[in-house]
Amino acid sequence: MLKKKKIDLYEFISINDLSLMLNVNNLKIINICKLLGVNVSLNYRLDKELILLICDELGYKVNIIDKLKNLNFLNEKKKKKKKYIVRPPIISIMGHVNHGKTSLLDYIRKSNLISLEYGNITQHMGIYNVKLNNNKTITLIDTPGHESFLSIRRRGIKISDIVLIVISVDKGIMNQTIESINHAKNDNLPIIFIFSKIDKVKNIKFNIDKIKNNLKKLNINLNIKNDKYLYQKISIKTGYGIEKLINKINILSKKLNLLTNINTLNCYGIIIESYLDKKKGYLVKILVQKGILRVGDYIISNFYYGKIKNIFNDYNIKIKKVYPSYPAIIIGFNGPPFSGSKFIVLKKNYKNYIKNIINNNKLLINKKKKKKKNNNKIINIILKADVDSSISVILDEINKFDNINIVNQSIGNINQSDINLATIFNCIIIGFNIKININKKKKINNKNNIYIFNVIYDIINF
């Protein structure tokens, strides 16, 4: 048996960078991902699980380097007395597009989030803490159902305790339904199947029995009573079944015994999304997993760091601290950390030390790519989007074409610098969920090469 080669790698490395590090053809890595049921492109950022599986297949033993691990010793050594609380369950709402996921969230949350999404389809990861009638709270993650948003769905499932899989009874099990089931099963998470839109069919029993039979083929038997796979019929139109669903979530959460110590020195969590506000700077949506995050804390994630100036909850109300399982938006980062990456809080200002750590941890990869051999004309693109996760999703789509060259990618509105860069390199500019923000007195010489989209389908079909 051949001994595996050892290699140090960072999480969230792209397929293209991984191929350079391992000195293998990137198509080989893409094919391995396909065999694992994950459709990817050259710029797809791989998570820890995929990196380990790919490298194992290629004969490598991987040590995943945690950029934040070395910073733990900077925190105070004084031990604190442990204080445990029951944290709210984190629940992902998953399923195929247009099966009623966001409508369910809106009903529980008493909001109208669906009206904020173009084309009435979810294109971002939403995360919300909801207070129930019994004064308990739950944290709900709304994930996009369109096939292009695979990376966002994977991030959602990784931080969840429970998964709700919504199946419209008039449409049944579809591609992303099966994908959602596989994600939940792979992470050994309990699932509550929600049979939605029961008001749309005449013979409810027939439709549900058909779905149950199809679930049996996926080794899920809902006719047998168990704690791992539950189901509930609902109608958003009438409100039928919602209270029973909440009750099942509460019972399941209690059995999971979600205790956490809040008296810890090492508060950490997950970056959900990053975006740029012209007046406020970088706004970063986070979820705390351990400890308490406070205004004034020094925080680091990826190659970005800062001191937390302000914290807002998911209702845009200013707050001073965030407990485990709660989402928030923070201001203070000096740049946009990657969606899905970790953050950690430091108790002292080690700004210069942090800078050195970040600089030393940057991957020294030769990014010179071999010229692609094809007869097609290379199309240069500047990509701008509202949030970091949107950029990763769009890159996964457009990099499927061999004749695409991404000159620059960033979050925020299209500005004069983008226009100038496009002119120099003969680029087209693609914008997603953003605006053109330049001096009105200046002319846009390449105005016919700027394309603004608000729906993911339109970019795919462009």
Query: pTM of the predicted model, to two decimals?
Result: 0.67
pLDDT for 401 equals 67
Q: Is 279's pLDDT higher than 90?
A: no
One-letter amino acid at 419 equals: I
Please tell me whether residues 93 and 36 are part of one structural domain. Answer: no
Assess if residue 373 is contained within a domain: no
- Residue 101's SS3 state is helix
Please tell me whether residues 129 and 191 are part of one structural domain. Answer: yes
One-letter amino acid at 307 equals: K
283 Cβ contact list (under 8 Å, min separation 6) = 274, 275, 276, 277, 329, 330, 331
Q: What is the DSSP letter of 245?
A: H
Q: Categorize the per-residue pLDDT at 195 as very low, low, confident or very high, splitting at 50, 70 and 90.
A: very high
Please tell me whether residues 149 and 244 are part of one structural domain. Answer: yes
Give the CA distances from residue 397 to residues 148, 151, 456, in Å, rounded to whole numbers and listed in that order: 7, 12, 10
pLDDT for 153 equals 62
In DSSP terms, 298 is beta-bridged to 307, 346
CATH (domain of 357): 2.40.30.10
Q: Is 458's pLDDT higher than 80?
A: no
Q: Quick one: average pLDDT of 12-20?
A: 78
Please tell me whether residues 238 and 99 are part of one structural domain. Answer: yes
User: What would the two tokens of residue 69 be?
Assistant: 């691990």
How far apart are the C-alpha atoms of 267 and 245, rounded to whole Å? 32
Please tell me whether residues 17 and 154 are part of one structural domain. Answer: no
Assess if residue 315 is contained within a domain: yes
Residues in the chain, overall count: 462
Helical packing angle, 388-398 and 150-158, nearest 10°: 130
| H or E, element range at 251 | helix 242-256
pLDDT for 373 equals 42
Q: Quick one: average pLDDT of 415-419?
A: 78
CATH (domain of 441): 3.40.50.10050
Assess if residue 384 is contained within a domain: yes
**Digit-coded pLDDT (tens) for 118-158:** 444 444 567 888 888 777 889 998 876 445 445 666 777 78
Q: Quick one: average pLDDT of 77-87?
A: 76
How far apart are the C-alpha atoms of 452 and 50, rounded to whole Å? 33
Please tell me whether residues 51 and 152 are part of one structural domain. Answer: no
Assess if residue 263 is contained within a domain: no
Please tell me whether residues 273 and 252 are part of one structural domain. Answer: no
Domain end among 222, 257, 292: 257
Say how many domains are in the chain: 4
Domain end among 257, 277, 309: 257
User: What would the two tokens of residue 455 be?
Assistant: 């729906």
Q: Categorize the per-residue pLDDT at 187 as very low, low, confident or very high, splitting at 50, 70 and 90.
A: confident
Please tell me whether residues 229 and 313 are part of one structural domain. Answer: no
- CB 104, CB 196: distance < 8 Å: yes
Q: Categorize the per-residue pLDDT at 415 as very low, low, confident or very high, splitting at 50, 70 and 90.
A: confident
- CB 429, CB 451: distance < 8 Å: yes
- Residue 223's SS3 state is coil
Assess if residue 413 is contained within a domain: yes
Report strand pairing: 268-277 vs 281-290: antiparallel
Q: Is 192's pLDDT higher than 90?
A: yes
One-letter amino acid at 361 equals: N
Domain end among 361, 390, 422: 361
How far apart are the C-alpha atoms of 123 and 152, rounded to whole Å? 9
pLDDT for 383 equals 85
Assess if residue 151 is contained within a domain: yes
Chain-centre distance for alpha carbon 178: 19
Q: Is 193's pLDDT higher than 60?
A: yes
- Residue 338's SS3 state is coil
How far apart are the C-alpha atoms of 188 and 279, rounded to whole Å? 43
Q: Is 203's pLDDT higher than 60?
A: yes
Q: Which domain holds residue 315?
A: 268-361
More confident residue, 277 or 150: 277
Please tell me whether residues 238 and 309 are part of one structural domain. Answer: no
**Digit-coded pLDDT (tens) for 227-241:** 789 999 999 888 899
Q: Could you tell me how many helices (H) and strands (E) the chain has, helices first?
A: 12, 23
User: What would the two tokens of residue 181 be?
Assistant: 């089931």
In DSSP terms, 60 is beta-bridged to 5
pLDDT for 15 equals 80
How far apart are the C-alpha atoms of 220 and 216, rounded to whole Å? 5
Residue 122, CB half-sphere, CA atoms under 13 Å: how many? 31
Task: Kindly tell me the burial class for residue 358, based on how many C-beta atoms sit within 10 Å of its own C-beta (0-12, 13-18, 19 or more).
Answer: middle
Average pLDDT over the chain reads: 77
- Residue 153's SS3 state is helix
Q: Quick one: average pLDDT of 92-108?
A: 81
Please tell me whether residues 117 and 199 are part of one structural domain. Answer: yes
Q: Categorize the per-residue pLDDT at 103 as very low, low, confident or very high, splitting at 50, 70 and 90.
A: confident
Q: Is 450's pLDDT higher than 80?
A: yes
Q: Given the structure tokens 């984190």, which residue do they identify? A: 90
Please tell me whether residues 212 and 272 are part of one structural domain. Answer: no
Assess if residue 370 is contained within a domain: no
Q: Is 293's pLDDT higher than 60?
A: yes
More confident residue, 73 or 250: 250
| H or E, element range at 39 | none
How far apart are the C-alpha atoms of 342 and 223, rounded to whole Å? 40
Assess if residue 123 is contained within a domain: yes
Q: Is 457's pLDDT higher than 50?
A: yes
How far apart are the C-alpha atoms of 68 and 136, rounded to whole Å? 33
Residue 135: CB atoms within 10 Å: 6
How far apart are the C-alpha atoms of 147 and 125, rounded to whole Å? 14
CATH (domain of 180): 3.40.50.300
More confident residue, 40 or 129: 129
Q: Quick one: average pLDDT of 43-57?
A: 80
Ranges 94-98, 320-324, 339-343, most confident: 320-324
Please tell me whether residues 332 and 399 are part of one structural domain. Answer: no
Minimum mean pLDDT among 29-33, 213-217, 420-424: which range?
A: 420-424
For the residues of 350-407, what is the DSSP string, one character each?
Answer: -HHHHHHHHHHHS-----PPPPP--SSPPEEEEEEESBHHHHHHHHHHHTTSTTEEEE
